Structure 1
Protein backbone atom coordinates (compact mmCIF):
# COMPACT_ATOMS: atom_id res chain seq x y z
CA UNK A 1 0.00 0.00 0.00
CA UNK A 2 1.48 3.33 -0.98
CA UNK A 3 1.93 5.87 1.78
CA UNK A 4 -0.05 9.05 2.09
CA UNK A 5 2.31 11.85 1.26
CA UNK A 6 3.38 14.28 3.93
CA UNK A 7 1.34 17.17 2.60
CA UNK A 8 -1.81 15.12 3.10
CA UNK A 9 -1.16 14.78 6.81
CA UNK A 10 -1.95 17.21 9.58
CA UNK A 11 0.98 17.13 11.97
CA UNK A 12 1.29 20.47 13.73
CA UNK A 13 -0.54 21.03 16.97
CA UNK A 14 -1.86 24.45 15.95
CA UNK A 15 -3.35 22.95 12.79
CA UNK A 16 -5.14 20.33 14.90
CA UNK A 17 -6.39 23.07 17.22
CA UNK A 18 -7.75 25.09 14.30
CA UNK A 19 -9.72 22.10 13.00
CA UNK A 20 -11.11 21.47 16.51
CA UNK A 21 -12.08 25.11 17.00
CA UNK A 22 -13.52 25.91 13.58
CA UNK A 23 -14.53 22.52 12.23
CA UNK A 24 -17.80 20.60 12.44
CA UNK A 25 -17.82 17.32 14.31
CA UNK A 26 -19.68 14.05 13.81
CA UNK A 27 -19.33 11.00 16.03
CA UNK A 28 -20.32 7.42 16.62
CA UNK A 29 -19.21 4.98 19.32
CA UNK A 30 -15.84 4.37 17.71
CA UNK A 31 -14.83 7.69 16.16
CA UNK A 32 -15.17 11.44 16.32
CA UNK A 33 -14.43 13.28 13.09
CA UNK A 34 -13.82 17.00 12.77
CA UNK A 35 -14.09 18.49 9.30
CA UNK A 36 -12.83 21.94 8.37
CA UNK A 37 -13.39 23.50 4.95
CA UNK A 38 -10.22 24.59 3.17
CA UNK A 39 -11.59 25.74 -0.18
CA UNK A 40 -8.15 26.81 -1.41
CA UNK A 41 -6.75 23.28 -0.95
CA UNK A 42 -6.81 20.98 -3.99
CA UNK A 43 -6.49 17.86 -1.85
CA UNK A 44 -7.69 16.66 1.53
CA UNK A 45 -5.56 16.24 4.65
CA UNK A 46 -6.05 13.93 7.57
CA UNK A 47 -4.89 14.16 11.16
CA UNK A 48 -5.12 11.28 13.60
CA UNK A 49 -5.59 11.43 17.33
CA UNK A 50 -5.19 8.09 19.07
CA UNK A 51 -4.63 8.60 22.79
CA UNK A 52 -2.94 6.34 25.30
CA UNK A 53 -6.38 5.31 26.56
CA UNK A 54 -6.60 3.20 23.40
CA UNK A 55 -3.64 1.08 24.45
CA UNK A 56 0.08 0.64 24.12
CA UNK A 57 2.04 1.90 21.11
CA UNK A 58 1.58 -1.33 19.15
CA UNK A 59 -2.20 -1.04 19.40
CA UNK A 60 -2.23 2.70 18.68
CA UNK A 61 -0.04 2.23 15.62
CA UNK A 62 -2.30 -0.52 14.30
CA UNK A 63 -5.35 1.69 14.75
CA UNK A 64 -3.65 4.54 12.89
CA UNK A 65 -2.60 2.21 10.11
CA UNK A 66 -6.19 0.98 9.74
CA UNK A 67 -7.56 4.52 9.58
CA UNK A 68 -5.00 5.58 6.96
CA UNK A 69 -5.78 2.49 4.93
CA UNK A 70 -9.48 3.36 4.81
CA UNK A 71 -8.66 6.87 3.56
CA UNK A 72 -6.25 5.38 1.04
CA UNK A 73 -8.86 2.95 -0.30
CA UNK A 74 -11.57 5.61 -0.44
CA UNK A 75 -9.44 8.53 -1.54
CA UNK A 76 -11.17 8.99 -4.91
CA UNK A 77 -14.53 9.44 -3.19
CA UNK A 78 -13.40 11.82 -0.46
CA UNK A 79 -14.02 15.51 -0.93
CA UNK A 80 -10.94 17.64 -1.41
CA UNK A 81 -10.54 21.11 0.04
CA UNK A 82 -11.07 19.79 3.55
CA UNK A 83 -9.10 18.84 6.63
CA UNK A 84 -10.28 15.76 8.52
CA UNK A 85 -9.20 15.04 12.07
CA UNK A 86 -10.13 11.57 13.27
CA UNK A 87 -10.22 10.78 16.96
CA UNK A 88 -10.31 7.09 17.79
CA UNK A 89 -12.36 6.06 20.82
CA UNK A 90 -11.55 3.15 23.14
CA UNK A 91 -13.69 0.44 21.44
CA UNK A 92 -11.53 0.71 18.30
CA UNK A 93 -8.66 -0.97 20.15
CA UNK A 94 -10.20 -4.43 19.84
CA UNK A 95 -11.60 -4.10 16.32
CA UNK A 96 -10.48 -5.85 13.15
CA UNK A 97 -9.83 -3.86 9.99
CA UNK A 98 -13.23 -4.60 8.42
CA UNK A 99 -15.06 -3.32 11.50
CA UNK A 100 -12.91 -0.21 11.67
CA UNK A 101 -13.59 0.41 8.00
CA UNK A 102 -17.35 0.02 8.38
CA UNK A 103 -17.50 2.31 11.39
CA UNK A 104 -15.28 4.97 9.83
CA UNK A 105 -17.25 4.97 6.56
CA UNK A 106 -20.43 5.39 8.57
CA UNK A 107 -19.07 8.51 10.29
CA UNK A 108 -17.56 9.88 7.08
CA UNK A 109 -20.91 9.51 5.35
CA UNK A 110 -22.60 11.42 8.16
CA UNK A 111 -19.93 14.11 7.85
CA UNK A 112 -20.73 14.42 4.10
CA UNK A 113 -17.14 13.59 3.27
CA UNK A 114 -17.97 11.75 0.05
CA UNK A 115 -18.72 13.05 -3.43
Structure 2
Protein backbone atom coordinates (compact mmCIF):
# COMPACT_ATOMS: atom_id res chain seq x y z
CA UNK A 1 0.00 0.00 0.00
CA UNK A 2 1.19 3.46 -0.87
CA UNK A 3 0.15 6.93 0.22
CA UNK A 4 0.20 9.71 -2.37
CA UNK A 5 2.32 12.55 -1.00
CA UNK A 6 2.36 14.89 -4.02
CA UNK A 7 1.28 14.91 -7.66
CA UNK A 8 3.39 16.94 -10.10
CA UNK A 9 1.44 17.53 -13.31
CA UNK A 10 3.19 18.23 -16.61
CA UNK A 11 1.61 18.88 -20.01
CA UNK A 12 0.80 15.24 -20.84
CA UNK A 13 2.31 13.20 -18.00
CA UNK A 14 2.85 13.47 -14.28
CA UNK A 15 5.08 12.32 -11.48
CA UNK A 16 3.43 10.98 -8.35
CA UNK A 17 5.40 10.81 -5.13
CA UNK A 18 4.30 7.70 -3.26
CA UNK A 19 5.27 6.73 0.27
CA UNK A 20 5.30 3.03 1.08
CA UNK A 21 3.17 2.25 4.13
CA UNK A 22 5.49 -0.68 4.83
CA UNK A 23 8.91 1.00 4.72
CA UNK A 24 8.09 4.74 4.77
CA UNK A 25 10.38 5.11 1.72
CA UNK A 26 9.29 7.58 -0.94
CA UNK A 27 9.36 6.87 -4.68
CA UNK A 28 8.87 9.28 -7.60
CA UNK A 29 6.65 7.35 -10.01
CA UNK A 30 6.01 8.26 -13.66
CA UNK A 31 2.38 8.17 -14.83
CA UNK A 32 1.75 8.41 -18.58
CA UNK A 33 -1.81 7.03 -18.55
CA UNK A 34 -3.22 10.33 -19.85
CA UNK A 35 -0.88 10.19 -22.86
CA UNK A 36 -0.93 6.49 -23.80
CA UNK A 37 -4.19 5.35 -22.25
CA UNK A 38 -7.58 6.57 -21.17
CA UNK A 39 -6.33 8.50 -18.12
CA UNK A 40 -7.48 5.57 -16.00
CA UNK A 41 -5.55 6.84 -12.96
CA UNK A 42 -7.34 10.21 -12.87
CA UNK A 43 -9.02 9.12 -9.61
CA UNK A 44 -5.68 9.19 -7.72
CA UNK A 45 -5.61 12.00 -5.14
CA UNK A 46 -3.00 13.41 -2.76
CA UNK A 47 -3.00 12.05 0.80
CA UNK A 48 -5.04 8.98 -0.20
CA UNK A 49 -3.80 5.37 0.14
CA UNK A 50 -3.81 2.91 -2.78
CA UNK A 51 -2.75 -0.61 -3.63
CA UNK A 52 -0.19 0.04 -6.39
CA UNK A 53 2.08 -2.01 -8.61
CA UNK A 54 5.20 -0.09 -9.54
CA UNK A 55 7.41 -1.03 -12.45
CA UNK A 56 11.13 -0.38 -12.65
CA UNK A 57 12.88 0.84 -15.77
CA UNK A 58 16.56 0.13 -15.24
CA UNK A 59 19.63 -1.90 -16.07
CA UNK A 60 21.36 -4.76 -14.30
CA UNK A 61 24.72 -3.34 -13.14
CA UNK A 62 27.37 -4.46 -10.65
CA UNK A 63 27.05 -1.25 -8.62
CA UNK A 64 23.26 -0.80 -8.49
CA UNK A 65 20.73 -1.30 -5.69
CA UNK A 66 20.19 -4.90 -4.57
CA UNK A 67 16.86 -6.62 -5.24
CA UNK A 68 15.58 -10.15 -4.59
CA UNK A 69 13.84 -11.90 -7.50
CA UNK A 70 10.59 -13.29 -5.99
CA UNK A 71 8.38 -14.65 -8.77
CA UNK A 72 7.05 -14.34 -12.31
CA UNK A 73 3.81 -12.41 -12.71
CA UNK A 74 1.61 -11.10 -15.46
CA UNK A 75 0.09 -7.63 -15.37
CA UNK A 76 -2.20 -7.13 -18.33
CA UNK A 77 -0.29 -8.68 -21.22
CA UNK A 78 3.13 -7.95 -19.74
CA UNK A 79 5.26 -10.80 -18.39
CA UNK A 80 7.15 -9.41 -15.42
CA UNK A 81 9.39 -10.43 -12.56
CA UNK A 82 8.26 -9.45 -9.08
CA UNK A 83 11.28 -8.18 -7.14
CA UNK A 84 11.79 -6.62 -3.71
CA UNK A 85 14.33 -4.16 -2.36
CA UNK A 86 16.11 -4.25 1.00
CA UNK A 87 13.22 -2.28 2.55
CA UNK A 88 10.74 -5.02 1.59
CA UNK A 89 8.92 -2.98 -1.05
CA UNK A 90 7.86 -4.91 -4.17
CA UNK A 91 8.36 -3.81 -7.77
CA UNK A 92 8.04 -5.29 -11.25
CA UNK A 93 10.76 -5.69 -13.86
CA UNK A 94 10.58 -6.85 -17.47
CA UNK A 95 10.82 -10.65 -17.63
CA UNK A 96 12.91 -10.24 -20.81
CA UNK A 97 15.93 -10.35 -18.52
CA UNK A 98 17.02 -13.93 -17.87
CA UNK A 99 16.96 -14.01 -14.06
CA UNK A 100 16.28 -16.94 -11.76
CA UNK A 101 13.62 -16.90 -9.05
CA UNK A 102 15.37 -16.69 -5.68
CA UNK A 103 18.42 -14.88 -7.05
CA UNK A 104 19.63 -11.38 -6.25
CA UNK A 105 20.31 -8.65 -8.78
CA UNK A 106 21.70 -5.15 -8.72
CA UNK A 107 19.80 -2.52 -10.69
CA UNK A 108 20.64 0.98 -11.79
CA UNK A 109 17.16 2.54 -11.68
CA UNK A 110 16.23 5.07 -14.36
CA UNK A 111 12.63 5.50 -13.25
CA UNK A 112 9.62 3.93 -11.55
CA UNK A 113 6.45 3.48 -13.65
CA UNK A 114 2.85 3.25 -12.45
CA UNK A 115 1.49 -0.10 -13.71
CA UNK A 116 -1.72 -0.46 -11.69
CA UNK A 117 -3.72 1.21 -8.93
CA UNK A 118 -6.38 -0.70 -6.96
CA UNK A 119 -6.44 -3.37 -9.70
CA UNK A 120 -6.96 -0.78 -12.47
CA UNK A 121 -4.24 -1.53 -15.02
CA UNK A 122 -2.40 1.02 -17.16
CA UNK A 123 -3.66 0.69 -20.76
CA UNK A 124 -0.14 0.30 -22.16
CA UNK A 125 0.12 -3.07 -20.40
CA UNK A 126 -3.10 -4.37 -21.98
- Whether TM-score is above 0.5 comes out as no
Larger Rg: 2
TM-score of the pair, normalised by structure 2:
0.26
Q: Report which of the two has the higher share of strand.
A: 2
Q: Report which of the two has the higher share of helix.
A: 1
TM-score of the pair, normalised by structure 1:
0.28
Which of 1 and 2 has higher RCO (CA within 8 Å, sep 6+)? 1
